[in-house]
Amino acid sequence: FCESSAAFWTEIKIKLGILLQKPDSVGDLVIPYNEKPEKPAKTQKPSLDEALQWRDSLDKLLQNNYGLASFKSFLKSEFSEENLEFWIACEDYKKIKSPAKMAEKAKQIYEEFIQTEAPKEVNIDHFTKDITMKNLVEPSLSSFDMAQKRIHALMEKDSLPRFVRSEFYQELIK
């Protein structure tokens, strides 16, 4: 635990008591989110049958490397990739074993996607945001589950239908 993390969690605990929604509540502790450069997917183009299944299943799309890369490219073209990036960050977070690394990654995800006015703030309701903040007092593998489920549902309802109508997808099923 570094001092900045300890100070961050102390501040979160204090803020939870009053549930302030001010964007500057942890502003002096913001650490830039270091994204790893994207490696081009080394996967084969999916079969027509596989690609057709994506119309009805966001999960099947997300489980396929080619589908995930296509979906991400589509969302970037619409300047709306923050939901997918948040979902991926949550999936990566769930693989962390070390409590110290988990706390560090939780802080990073919170600052990048959850806190008010975050650089890539995802659109979640206040109730979900408050529950997520409470979960971060003692980070666990399920800290972001509710927020991740909300974002998954939003992508399924909104982003997936737009992707299926897009040229990105139409090219795959030709």
Q: Please, what are the averages of pLDDT over each run of 10 residues along the chain (174 residues)?
A: 61 52 38 40 80 94 93 92 97 95 96 95 95 94 97 96 93 87
Q: Which domain holds residue 93?
A: 45-171
The total number of structural domains that make up the chain? 1
For residues 117 and 42, give the distance between their C-alpha atoms in angstroms, rounded to a whole number.
Answer: 35
User: CB under 8 Å to 23, separation ≥6 — which residues?
Assistant: 115, 116, 117
- In 3-state terms, what secondary structure has residue 17? helix
Predicted local confidence at residue 74, as pLDDT = 94
User: Could you tell me if residue 28 is inside a domain?
Assistant: no
Helices (H), the chain: 3-18, 48-53, 58-63, 65-77, 82-93, 99-109, 126-135, 145-154, 160-165, 167-172
User: Could you tell me if residue 162 is inside a domain?
Assistant: yes
Predicted local confidence at residue 10, as pLDDT = 63
Q: What is the CATH number of the domain that holds 93?
A: 1.10.167.10
Handedness of CA 150, 155, 161, 162 (dihedral sign): positive
Cβ(58)–Cβ(155) below 8 Å: yes
User: Could you tell me if residue 14 is inside a domain?
Assistant: no
Question: pTM score > 0.95 for this model?
Answer: no
User: Could you tell me if residue 20 is inside a domain?
Assistant: no
User: Could you tell me if residue 153 is inside a domain?
Assistant: yes
User: Could you tell me if residue 8 is inside a domain?
Assistant: no
User: Could you tell me if residue 24 is inside a domain?
Assistant: no
